[in-house]
């Protein structure tokens, strides 16, 4: 029997790839997105076109677009529109809600904090309340590795205390986890938060370093390297992220599983947090080398101080993900970057 999913942020990077994967499995997906202009809208519309939207962006909010894929429907809307969201959830009777909609970006949260409050806090509150009222089987939501903030312990574990965020973006993601915990405790709502670690791949976000580095290197422009290139990131390829989400979707909460875990959900079998990362951080220098090799061009580099809101290193402990799902992300940075560069050249019509 087909399962019905509501995916928020369906025109976003992860939402697009997850929607495609679920549709390929024969599931039914309704995607919503406000298609904001944080980055190039044309990239978001291209993702939607690949999923099956014929006419691109609808002309106004709450309009369902025509589509070529019979199992997919897209609606442009804000999560802050609580009345429409509730009506949609009552009418469609979703089995699962996967909340990937959020105002992204660590540095942008310093410039425009109100966008993060509305999307990441008010929007999430509406989503989790809709999940409660309509009794969905499972709410999965995107958290972030940024919640670890100034954590000194390496690798980052879901059992670590994460009370010291260094950006408003990170603070909103931590708040989402706390809200989910309270709802799981009060109403026995099954919630799973996913702390993603530096996701990359085709159709990725232009504000990410690997994307901007590739664009500038191919254009012969200088790239800015912060903190003398000493930053380390646990880069995770998009296909590994999607596989992890799908496996966790069907994971059932139970006492036996609960007793095996070592995170902050010991007292609540309905609340879970997982890291999804490659479990192998690399230095920024290795990323640049991979991009240079893929492009066949050496980079012109400018070295700058560390930026506010950044952290030196991210490194995911994924023992519980492996234990509970049998899955471990495995795509090497060199392989993933080649796939990204191949897509980049094709999308932007760049001759090799």
pLDDT 10s digits, 207-255: 999 999 999 999 999 998 887 778 899 999 999 999 999 999 988 665 5
With a cut of 50, say whether residue 60 has pLDDT above it.
no
Burial of 255: CB neighbours in 10 Å, binned 0-12, 13-18, 19+: exposed
The answer to whether the peptide bond before residue 155 is cis (omega within 30 degrees of 0) is yes
Mean pLDDT (whole number) for 186-194: 95
* pTM score of the predicted model: 0.91
CATH architecture of 4-201+238-279+316-331: 3-Layer(aba) Sandwich (3.40)
Q: Can you list the alpha helix ranges (DSSP code H) found in the chain? A: 13-24, 41-51, 82-92, 108-111, 113-116, 123-134, 168-187, 209-219, 238-249, 255-260, 284-295, 319-325, 333-347
Active site (catalytic) residues: 169
What is d(CA 164, CA 74) in angstroms, rounded to the nearest whole number?
Answer: 37
Residue spans of the domains in the chain: they are 4-201+238-279+316-331
With a cut of 50, say whether residue 59 has pLDDT above it.
no
Whole-number pLDDT of residue 262: 44
Burial of 92: CB neighbours in 10 Å, binned 0-12, 13-18, 19+: middle
Whole-number pLDDT of residue 62: 43
Whole-number pLDDT of residue 275: 97
Whole-number pLDDT of residue 123: 94
Find, among 141, 142, 118, the residue nearest to 199 by Cα: 142
Whole-number pLDDT of residue 104: 76
With a cut of 90, say whether residue 142 has pLDDT above it.
yes
With a cut of 80, say whether residue 53 has pLDDT above it.
no
Whole-number pLDDT of residue 115: 81
DSSP state of 286: H
Whole-number pLDDT of residue 312: 82
Whole-number pLDDT of residue 351: 80
Strands 96-99 and 138-142, bridge-based pairing: parallel
What is d(CA 244, CA 254) in angstroms, rounded to the nearest whole number?
Answer: 19
Find, among 248, 20, 207, the residue nearest to 103 by Cα: 207
């Amino acid at each position: 029997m087909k399962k019905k999913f509501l995916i928020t942020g369906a025109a976003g990077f992860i939402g697009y790839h997850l929607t495609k994967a679920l549709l390929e499995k024969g599931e039914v997906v309704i995607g919503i997105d406000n298609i904001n202009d944080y980055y190039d809208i044309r990239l978001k519309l291209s993702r939607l076109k690949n999923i099956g939207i014929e006419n691109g962006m609808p002309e106004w909010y709450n309009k369902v677009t025509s589509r070529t894929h019979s199992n997919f429907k897209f609606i442009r809307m804000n999560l802050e529109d609580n009345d429409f969201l509730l009506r949609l959830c009552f009418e469609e009777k979703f089995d699962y809600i996967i909340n990937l909609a959020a105002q992204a970006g660590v540095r942008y949260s310093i410039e425009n904090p109100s966008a993060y409050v509305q999307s990441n806090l008010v929007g999430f509150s509406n989503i989790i309340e809709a999940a409660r009222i309509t009794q969905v089987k499972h709410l999965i939501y995107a958290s972030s590795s940024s919640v670890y903030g100034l954590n000194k312990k390496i690798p980052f574990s879901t059992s670590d205390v994460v009370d010291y965020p260094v950006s408003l973006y990170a603070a909103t993601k931590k708040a989402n986890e706390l809200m989910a915990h309270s709802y799981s405790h009060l109403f026995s709502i099954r919630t799973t938060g996913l702390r993603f670690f530096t996701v990359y791949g085709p159709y990725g976000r232009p504000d990410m370093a690997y994307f901007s580095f590739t664009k500038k290197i191919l254009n012969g422009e200088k790239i800015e390297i912060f903190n003398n290139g000493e930053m380390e990131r646990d880069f995770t390829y998009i296909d590994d992220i999607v596989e992890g989400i799908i496996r966790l979707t069907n994971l059932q909460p139970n006492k036996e599983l609960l007793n095996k875990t070592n995170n902050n959900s010991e007292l609540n079998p309905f609340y879970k947090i997982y890291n999804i990362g490659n479990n192998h951080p690399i230095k920024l220098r290795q990323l640049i080398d991979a991009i240079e090799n893929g492009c066949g061009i050496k980079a012109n580099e400018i070295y700058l101080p560390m930026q506010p809101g950044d952290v030196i290193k991210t490194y995911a402990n994924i023992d519980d993900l492996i234990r509970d799902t049998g899955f471990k992300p495995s795509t090497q940075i060199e392989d993933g970057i080649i796939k990204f560069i191949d897509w980049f050249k094709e999308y932007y019509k760049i001759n090799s």
